[in-house]
Each structure stands twice: as structure tokens, then as C-alpha cells.
Structure 1
């Protein structure tokens, strides 16, 4: 399901099937239906075209080839301890917004479908328990991990929308993203950088998911143009060989 210009109408409006938007960048966020993607053209500005699909790979099939994809999901899974990407991004956001960055589970813990077993495994390997929120993202994290290992044909980087919005505006946004005020503030931050988000969300996604995907696309464009900042400055590499850093 696709939404283009804000005038396209209500949730679920818009054509289905390929939209052929290759050449720009893609920002991706998890949603109820799987994944929501926001495509921006080569200039990284203008109306974002939003697509919902059950898998990340299908988003690319719908939108066409892009050089950079920014995904709001952990990439590069630790063998033990905490990732510097999470620690540094939490420090960058500061205050109450730092809690929006959860500590990435160890790879061994993510392999466990049962929460109690995963929690015990993470405590053994990382010296800390595993939040239910983090474990609930298990399938999404493993999907992206498998997708990366299978080859994507483009550069895929980890992003964090709250950090992206903080970089856009110079400070972490104080509002909650699911509130009308929070959505107005995030839409204004995007508009300040020339990005127009749809006024409605496709079926299977929330408007906060759409705005987060647009923020992810903004950071993906910064990666493409060499402007992005990373946390940490030099990505960590664990046993999986995948560089771990959050890009803003």
C-alpha cells in the first residue's frame, strides 16, 4: 500500500504495486503490518512516498533500487555487554528521551523465542536482563539481520528517529511522538528540512511510524551525501562482522 502527496487522502489510499522510485533513499520503521518505508528523491527533499510491506526486502521491490537504506532497528548484534551505539546515542539525546534507546540484546539471547530463557541468556552474556520491549522486536531484528547477511544490493545503516529529529532541530524533542502535538512538532521538523510527509498513514501503520520513517530517510540522505554523524565515531564490529553504529 502506497501514499504519495499529502493530498492523497485517508489511510489506505493510494495505488498498490511497484512505484518505481529508485535513485533516492529509503527510511524504514517497523509497524503493525511489518515495515513502513519512506522514499525521498535524489535531493533528499520534497514529498515523501510511503510504502507498507510485510518485509524490508519487499519495500525495495516496491520502490526500486536505492543506494542507501536507513532502518530503525539494531544492526550488528553484540556477543556480550552493551553496544557503544546505544550508549552514545542515549547520551546524545539525554534526559527522558534517552529511554527511547533500548539496549540491544546479545545475539544468543535473540535466538531464544521464550522470553524467560532469553532474559537469562542475556543476563549471563551481558550482565543485565532483557526488557520485554526489546524481546518483542526479536523477529524484526532477526529479519533485518538475515536480510543483510543475504546481500541487499545497497548500503544499509542503522538509524534512530528520535536522534534524527534531535539532529534536525538541535535538541531532543520534548513531546511524545504519538500525541497530536508530538506529530505536529515532528512534521514541522521535517518541513524545516524540505520534507513533506503524507497527512495520513497507509493501512497497517500509524502516523508516528510514517514520521519516523521520514526521519530515517533524512538520515539516510545524510549518509549518502557524507554529512551524517555516527555513534560511536568508529563503528564496533562483533563476531557477525557487521559494523554497529547509529547514523544521524
Structure 2
């Protein structure tokens, strides 16, 4: 395991990279549908990592399939939700994965939650209510989708904490990104007609696919090994 201070710093940098692209993605999915954007974005990042290291052995694919399924769910829900809500709401609600993670760990391990965790969860959900409720005190569709994304990301973090240490960082990351890209493109073919990016879409895809999905995701996996 990494030294806690270094691991926390790496996670913070990864979160900064992810958070910095909400506005970019919001603008990009105005021309390229959400599932298509996720598919091409992660296919680009997976291709880049596979050029560096190829996954070997059945176990890395098995663990990558589990983690990658949650990663796909998280980014598909986040990007779909972002098309129906504001970038600020999306960023703040996605951040609730920090609350969901200890709750999920407690449910899986049957350990009692600490008072600070319970208090933090109450404050976080109170803040969510103040942020997202509209007339009639109802969450909007985009906010609900993003809430689901936060839960999926929490599940992904829990899975990584149990399996990431078994595998080399780059090929294990590549498996997850590849699964996310392929699953999103398949879903796009079914629900969106498989739109192909134009030259106008490439800057956002390259930025989010290489710098963010590739670089930041490697940092996240590295910090949990």
C-alpha cells in the first residue's frame, strides 16, 4: 500500500482533473450524445494505455470486468445526467461518492459507522436537498442520474481497494477503460444510432480521453495499490 499522505494527494489530484472537465463535457454533449461521448472518450484512453502495456492472464480481465462495469455505470449516468442538469450540480452531486463509499464499506463488511461518518452523511444529503430541489421539492431527472453515478463510483472505489493491488497499474487501468468504452459504444448504437464524432468534437475527446481518463484514472488506481 502507498503511504497514506501520498495516496491521498494522488486522489486529490485525480479528483481535480476529473472536476475540471465538467464544463468541457457539458458543452461537448450538446453536439455528441452522452453515451457516444463516453464511448469514444474511453476508447481513446484505453487505446493509449494498451499501446504501453497489454493485460496478461485471465484474472486481470475478470477483476477488470467487475471494476469496469461500475466505471461504465458511473460515467454513463454522470454524462447522461449532465445533459439534463447544470455543470455545478453535476460536480457537487458526483462528490457525494465520498459519502457513499464509507456507507458501502459498512454495508459490505458489516462494520458500524462512526459518528463523524454519520454526521457527514446527514450534512451531505441536507446540502443535496438544498441544492437540487425545485418547485414541489423534487429532485430533477439529471440530479437523480448523477446521484446514481456517485453510488456507482463509490462501488468502483470499494472494488479497487480489494483487487487493484493484484495487478500492474497500466494494464489493469486499460482493461477497465476498454470495457467502459466498448459498453458505451454498444449502448450508443442501440439508443443513439451510433453517431460518429466530427472534427469539432475531437478537442474535448482528446482532453478528457488522454489527460483526464488516462492520466487521472492511473493516479486513482495507483493510489489504491
Same fold? TM cut 0.5: no
Higher helix share: 2
The two structures have a TM-score, normalised by structure 2, of 0.32
Report which structure shows greater RCO (CA 8 Å, sep ≥6).
2
